[in-house]
Chains A and B, each alone.
Chain A
Amino acid sequence: MKANRKRLLPLAILFLLALVVWLPLWTLLTGALTPTSEIKERLSGVLGASEGLAQWRFLPDRITFRHVVELLLDTPEFFRVFWNSCIQVFPAVAGQVLVGAPAAWAFSQLRFRGRKTLFRLYIVLMILPFQVTMASSYIVLSDLSLIDTPWAIILPSMFSAFPVFIMTKFFAGIPREMMEAARMDGANEWAIFLRIGLPLGLPGILSAALLGFVEGWNAVEQPVTFLKTASLLPLSAFLPATTVENAGVTFVCAVIALLPAVLIFLFGQQYLEQGIVASGIKE
């Protein structure tokens, strides 16, 4: 009984903290089902329609699916934006794996001069925020005539240092004895990478891919900087256009934008956790 009581307090504290984390998501979900008139009444203070603070209730007075229908059936532009996100994120993730896996394998398994220096350079590049590399990236992309094309998002992301870093950590965990045994059996370095490295490092590759997807799916700065045409912008960049009039649709839009990230997170939760542990970085 005493032990139960002891556990109750931390549980209550954790529940309250979880509630704070869940509250924005709950606001999003209820906002998607709230009529525009009610949204106007509650949010006009923060969305510029009037002065004051937002007033939000746990549940809306009336539930409506109008915004869902309006977005999914009456706004074909939404799907263009959604597929823009897919077009920019999936090739970038595929590129990260294709480019990053051999690089990570080299860093973890091969011994060559300057390896450590090069890897440190990778780490430096990884920790540089986008704002620092923005100007140089813009100049390079502009010289390559890639500004205002999806490639301006895909290419820099393909050569990102972060997935290389994560995959290096995973590949480094593969016992060297296995590689030596393979070499003794006559396997060359390429065969070792394909037959041993990739299957054993799969959790790392998936982890890097998942983190890359989440990063790309939520990216705002890169699209806003490198894309000029509104019709090329991805889903993550729609929030600045939110007004009282379209807040309901925007909430639905946000919920749908959330779904792939949530599903993919659930799908690769195990690998993602491993990746976060390996990188020591909390996204």
Chain B
Amino acid sequence: MEDTNRSACAAAKPFKKRIGRAILWFFAGMIVLTFVSRAASDALKAKVSVGYVSTSSLDQSLNGTGTWTAGETLLFTTYYTRRITKVYVQPGQAIEEGAPLFAYDVSTVSGGKSVTDRKVRAAQKALDLANANLENAADPAYAQAVVESAERALLFARFTYAQTYALQNGGVVCATFSGTLLSCDLSAGKASSAGESGLEISLGAPQFLICVSAKEAERISIGDAVCLYCDGRQEDETAEVVSVSTPDTDANVEVLCRDESGKTRVIGSEQDWKIRKQSEQYGTCVPIEALRQSGADAYYVLVLTEKQTILGEQFAAEKVGVTLIAHDDSHAAVEGGLDGDAKLITTCSKEVQDGDLVVKNDGD
């Protein structure tokens, strides 16, 4: 009996050894597979970051680079042919009324009729009359043109009188207008040519010209403040939108802005600008990275669906079609079957399709 037990024990020993080894192999295999599975999962499943649905307005600010342009340009010519002794201004310079422009040589007597201020008074009277007619004009456009013409006539008359006055008072001709000098063909030491040489003046402040697309122009309205940037820094004063043109054949729109800062602007120079705009409040805004396009006007988002299983949380991507209403650089306002607490896939390490299992990035 004892012998039988002993032989049974002896037979059981190798079997037990084999089972012991099998247990060790099993747990060793599980350790290896733990790492392999993690590595395989990292390699096969896309890692995604998530964003959330929000209620907000969109930033519809516009920016770009604009050009300084002249306003109404007039050529103020010299009334006399005389040697110029000095030119006080240079192109691009802002000119205030009363500022010295140039000086005639008054040491020699030379030709040219003197002008009295009677011509100025006559021009003023014509302007007053034109303004008076403007109110009750049958053709307002024509009446306006008459006023503008009278204004110009007055400007020229005053400048001509200023030159006569200068000849009698030392030769320095002063500005009878405000504006920016665009060009000047007078030079010290050379004689002026009556009625030909002179100063090209842009009246009033220089204007800032912005070119935008027709779609962008929809966001711009007259009176909008335009922030100007110089070397990346925003200027204290803003320009103001004064006119928005109709789209041209290329669907481009010119927006003209008035600068009241009084700063010297170089006509033709470029400067960065920005118009800050906020849209209306939208109920469903998604991060712009979450918005995906499947066709010309077909948009969708991938929603992260969470499956709570005993094996842990598993995540899958679910495609939800949306209609794009508006967007800015960071968010898009959409309409569609999105819940307020939906988790949206924004960025992913590889392409994700509807139904794909994904891994959520840590910290999201």
Contacts and interface: CB of A to CB of B under 8 A. Distances in A.
Interface of A: 72-83, 230-231, 233, 237-241, 246, 253, 259-260, 263-264, 266-267, 270
Nearest to A233: B310
Nearest to A270: B12
B307 to A, nearest CB: 9
A125 to B, nearest CB: 30
Contacts of B37: 72-76, 78-79
B10 to A, nearest CB: 13
Interface stretch (B26-34, B107-115, B294-302): B26-34
Given A82-B30, A263-B19, A74 B44 contact: yes
A77 B314 contact: yes
Nearest to B311: A77
Contacts of B16: 267
Task: Tell me whether chain B's interface is mostly helix, strand or loop, or mixed.
Answer: helix
Contacts, number: 75
A72 B33 contact: yes
Contacts of A240: 310
B311 A78 contact: yes
B132 interface: no
Given A77-B312, A77-B314, A233-B310, A83 B34 contact: yes
A246 B309 contact: yes
Given A77-B313, A79-B37, 17 more contacts: A72-B33, A73-B40, A74-B37, A74-B44, A76-B37, A76-B38, A78-B311, A230-B310, A230-B312, A238-B309, A238-B310, A241-B309, A246-B309, A253-B311, A267-B16, A267-B20, A267-B23
Interface of B: 12, 16, 19-20, 22-23, 26-27, 30, 33-34, 36-38, 40-41, 44, 308-314, 357
B240 to A, nearest CB: 60
B91 to A, nearest CB: 74
Contacts of A260: 23, 26-27
B34 A79 contact: yes
Contacts of A73: 33, 36-37, 40
B262 to A, nearest CB: 68
Contact of B312 (A72, A80, A266): A80
Nearest to A72: B33
